[in-house]
Amino acid sequence: MILIVDDKPENLIALKRILHKHHFEVDSALSGEEALKKVLKSNYDLILLDVQMPGLDGFEVAESIAGYNKTKDIPIIFLSAVNVKKQFINKGYASGGRDYIIKPFEPDVLILKIKMFIKLYEQTVALQNMQQVLVEEIEFRKQAERTKDEFITMASHELKTPLTSIKGYMQMVERSFVREAKEDARKYLDRTRQQLEKLNILIDDLLDTSKIASGKLDFRNKVYDFDPIIDNAVDIISQTYPSHSILKTGSADVKIYGDQLRLEQVILNYLSNAIKYSPNSFEILFDVSLLSCDEVMVNITDSGIGIPKDKQAELFTRFYRVDESSNRFQGLGMGLYVCAEIIKRHHGRYGVDSEPGKGSSFYFTLPVYQEQSTNN
Ligand code: ADP
């Protein structure tokens, strides 16, 4: 849209007629003050500005327009019948005008100039938009690079910790052999095994996270009885953490269509988190229930450190760790992210109910397999 500014209505009418003939959209202002208000409110592609006006003259209006970020690039063409001397023309260009046309003018020449300046303006705007997109892209990439670096540092640290323990325990095993202390050797081998298991889980999580990112997390889906999957996971955790008891309530006696190992992985992850984040409690509640005949729910409740309400929404996102706990407990913030992906891919739901200092209850649901249905 073109804005024409002139204090004489007859001039506005004449200009409007020429511009309409060439299918331009036109708006008008009868004073410099009105023009400034309009320019700040609406978007114009070009301004035709009379020089001689009472109040703010054309030069002053142009200077003001050049001062606003939003309007500084709008092309301005001055039109004047009175100020035709070189000094005025110079002033016109100095105040930000692109051209200075002396009346009477040739309408066709004016139209050609308008078209050219509008085209240039559109190109400038397109370039600026592109530049903005590029600046944002660069910033995004820099941030991603920083996050990756931080992650590599953290991951190396997390991998190094069990490795250092394994090295230490192996030395103890050697010494126990020298002393022929079989029991001690067994104890240290057992601890080594626990650390190896930690390493294994960390590496599996790393691999799964990268598979999710590349869309390559595969599932071997079959129809399974759900209860044995649960019992198996509970057995594994009970053996790994003999100091903790898992109090199981309910049973489902339903079939599930999905990947047994992946579902076991979710339960193991929920359970090991429940243990990890409850340093002063040794009991975990594990409840299975049927919500309706077509949905089964697993609830794992601990009496641990809990999670502040405002942090709960992000728990299942990649690399997220609650600040308050990240320094005290080892982890990479990948477990729940992988769990969420597995549950989503089984068409289930997941979530948490938690209160700081009291504990957390993590749940997930899965659709029950109906004999005739073909899930997936
Ligand atoms: P990690 O435990 O390796 O940090 P997760 O993805 O398993 O990664 O968990 C993400 C974050 O959620 C954890 O860092 C922790 O802050 C919080 N969290 C998970 N489970 C619990 C829990 N049972 N109690 C308290 N906080 C938990």
3-state secondary structure 155-220: HHHHHHHHHHHHHHHHHHHHHHHHCCCHHHHHHHHHHHHHHHHHHHHHHHHHHHHHHHHCCCCCCC
- Percent over 70 (pLDDT), the chain: 99
Tens-digit pLDDT profile for residues 142-158:
999 998 888 888 889 88
Asked whether the predicted pLDDT for residue 84 surpasses 90, the reply is no
Tens-digit pLDDT profile for residues 214-252:
999 989 999 999 999 999 999 999 988 888 999 999 988
Instruction: Summarize the confidence of residues 104-124 as an average pLDDT.
Output: 93
Tens-digit pLDDT profile for residues 273-321:
999 999 999 999 999 999 988 999 999 999 999 999 999 999 999 889 9
Q: Please check whether residue 53 is in contact with residue 5, taking contact to mean a CB–CB distance below 8 angstroms.
A: yes
Among protein residues, the one with the nearest Cα to ligand 1's atom 11 is 321
For ligand 1, whether the C-beta of 336 sits within 6 Å is: yes
For ligand 1, whether the C-beta of 332 sits within 6 Å is: yes
For ligand 1, whether the C-beta of 92 sits within 6 Å is: no
Asked whether the predicted pLDDT for residue 110 surpasses 60, the reply is yes
Query: For 162-166, which contacts have Cβ atoms below 8 Å and span 24 or more sequence positions?
Result: 162/195, 162/196, 162/198, 162/199, 162/202, 163/195, 163/199, 165/191, 165/192, 165/195, 166/192, 166/195, 166/196, 166/199
Rg (Cα) of the chain, in Å, rounded? 36
pLDDT of residue 373: 53
Q: From ligand 1's centre to the CA of 273, what distance in Å?
A: 6
pLDDT of residue 198: 87
For ligand 1, whether the C-beta of 96 sits within 6 Å is: no
Asked whether the predicted pLDDT for residue 375 surpasses 60, the reply is no
Against a cut of 0.75, is the pTM above it?
no
Integer Cα distance of 278 and 312 in angstroms: 17
Q: Please check whether residue 339 is in contact with residue 316, taking contact to mean a CB–CB distance below 8 angstroms.
A: yes
Integer Cα distance of 302 and 325 in angstroms: 15
The letter for the amino acid at 352 is V
User: Could you give phi then psi for residue 363, rounded to 5 degrees?
Assistant: -130, 160
Integer Cα distance of 181 and 373 in angstroms: 59
pLDDT of residue 221: 95
Q: From ligand 1's centre to the CA of 352, what distance in Å?
A: 11
Q: Please check whether residue 360 is in contact with residue 302, taking contact to mean a CB–CB distance below 8 angstroms.
A: yes
Integer Cα distance of 263 and 338 in angstroms: 11
Asked whether the predicted pLDDT for residue 90 surpasses 90, the reply is no
Tens-digit pLDDT profile for residues 11-68:
999 999 999 999 999 999 999 999 999 999 999 999 999 998 998 999 999 999 999 9
pLDDT of residue 297: 97
| Higher per-residue confidence, 2 vs 242 | 2
Q: From ligand 1's centre to the CA of 214, what distance in Å?
A: 24
Q: Please check whether residue 350 is in contact with residue 339, taking contact to mean a CB–CB distance below 8 angstroms.
A: yes
